[in-house]
């Protein structure tokens, strides 16, 4: 089941639902703990986005092709992943998924230790119940108890960690029916006109899985990230929602101080130095916002 683990790796280290374009708040269940959305189609079609897509092609998609024989980069237009406490992990890949890819995915699942063919509402789905071993040191969620997956919805690969969520997705044609406005504390989603990647997490849920005894984490309610194209540049925005305004102000001071200390460090790579010099730090009530817009070449060099 390595193909499914790569999806989780992609979210962890770069994370309506199936509609074209950016993710919106109403596209997630109210109880979601984290989410990730990538618009590969926008990356491939935009000048700035192509640089980021090229990095993904070399660092992520090439490994998947070598290990699984599946060309996720060529066939996927959108990838969305999220998890909620009661309904587990969900991954949705939207694109022109070939029969060859479907066959290979079935073969990989069968080779993992067991494959059951199931049905719901006249739509076929599968349960791959392999050993679930993983090389990841940090996991927000996993398919350790096996994965349910389906190609029954046209141009989509649905993957879930529970049968109930899979049956609900199939019944709703791959859409997630949710109303985040009805529940306090729901994840907020950053969006932009030409969004490339979006991600968010509830810090309390992150703390349960990561050994990070941090005062910052204890005083942070949510964190969100947005990467978009703006006027030919890669615009990056990160927001932290803290428990109180004083904590947001303190965090802003820390970030500004770190930038001031490092920006003129002679030993620092020029790309990182430029990244820091162009970073803006703002506080509104209990929300810390950090933004930066850079040439795509600089972003890719900084990631490398």
Taking only the tens place, the pLDDT of each residue in 177-231 is 665 454 555 777 887 778 898 988 887 665 555 544 456 667 788 889 999 998 8
Q: At 249, is the pLDDT very low, low, confident or very high (cuts 50, 70, 90)?
A: very high
| Tokens encoding 294 | 């850079």
pLDDT score of 294: 85
Backbone angles phi, psi at 163, to 5 degrees: -70, -35
Q: 87-96, 122-131, 153-162, 265-274: which has the minimum mean pLDDT? A: 265-274
Is 262 within 8 Å of 300 (Cβ atoms)?
no
Task: Say whether both 27 and 168 belong to one domain.
Answer: yes
Please state, in angstroms and rounded to a whole number, the distance separating the CA atoms of residues 48 and 42: 10
The count of structural domains within the chain is 2
φ and ψ of 81, to 5 deg: -135, 140
User: Is residue 299 located within the same domain as residue 234?
Assistant: yes
What percent of the chain stands above pLDDT 70? Answer: 77
Q: Which of 29-38, 164-173, 270-279 has the lowest mean pLDDT?
A: 270-279
Q: Write down the pTM of the prediction.
A: 0.80
Query: How far apart are the C-alpha atoms of 102 and 269, rounded to whole Å?
Result: 43
Spatial neighbors of 23 by CB under 8 A, at least 6 apart, are 17, 35, 37, 80, 189, 191, 195, 198
Q: What is the mean pLDDT of residues 237-260?
A: 88
Same-domain pairing of 127 and 45:
yes
Query: Which range marks the domain in which residue 225 is found?
Result: 186-303
Residues 107 and 25 in one domain: yes
- Looking at residue 216, its pLDDT comes to 64
**One domain, residues 16 and 159:** yes
Is residue 6 predicted with pLDDT exceeding 60?
no
Greatest CA separation for the chain: 64
Which token pair is 282? 């703002």
Domain limit, last residue, from 130, 158, 180: 180
Q: Are 107 and 94 in contact (CB under 8 A)?
A: no
pLDDT for the residue numbered 15: 35
């Amino acid at each position: 089941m390595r193909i499914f683990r790569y999806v989780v790796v992609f979210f962890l280290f770069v994370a309506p639902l199936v509609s074209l374009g950016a993710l919106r708040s109403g596209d997630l269940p109210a109880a979601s703990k984290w989410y990730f959305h990538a618009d590969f189609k926008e990356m491939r079609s935009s000048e700035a986005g192509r640089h980021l897509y090229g990095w993904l092609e070399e660092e992520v998609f090439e490994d998947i092709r070598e290990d699984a024989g599946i060309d996720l980069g060529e066939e996927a237009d959108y990838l969305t992943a999220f998890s909620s406490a009661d309904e587990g992990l969900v991954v949705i890949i939207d694109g022109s998924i070939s029969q060859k890819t479907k066959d290979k995915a079935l073969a990989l699942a069968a080779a993992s230790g067991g494959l059951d063919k199931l049905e719901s509402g006249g739509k076929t789905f599968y349960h791959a119940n392999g050993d679930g071993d993983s090389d990841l040191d940090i996991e927000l969620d996993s398919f350790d108890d096996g994965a349910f997956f389906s190609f029954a919805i046209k141009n989509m690969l649905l993957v879930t960690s529970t049968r109930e969520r899979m049956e609900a997705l199939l019944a709703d044609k791959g859409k997630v029916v949710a109303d985040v406005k009805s529940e306090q504390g729901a994840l907020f989603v950053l969006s932009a006109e030409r969004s490339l990647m979006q991600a968010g997490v509830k810090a309390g849920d992150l703390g349960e899985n990561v050994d990070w005894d941090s005062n910052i984490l204890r005083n942070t309610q949510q964190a969100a990230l947005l990467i978009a194209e703006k006027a030919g540049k890669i615009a990056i925005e990160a927001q932290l929602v803290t428990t109180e305004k004083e904590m947001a102000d303190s965090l802003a001071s820390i970030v500004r101080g770190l930038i001031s200390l490092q920006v003129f460090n002679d030993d620092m790579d020029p790309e990182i130095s430029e990244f820091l010099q162009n970073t803006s730090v703002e506080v509104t009530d209990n929300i810390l916002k950090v933004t930066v817009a850079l040439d795509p070449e600089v972003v890719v060099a900084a990631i490398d």
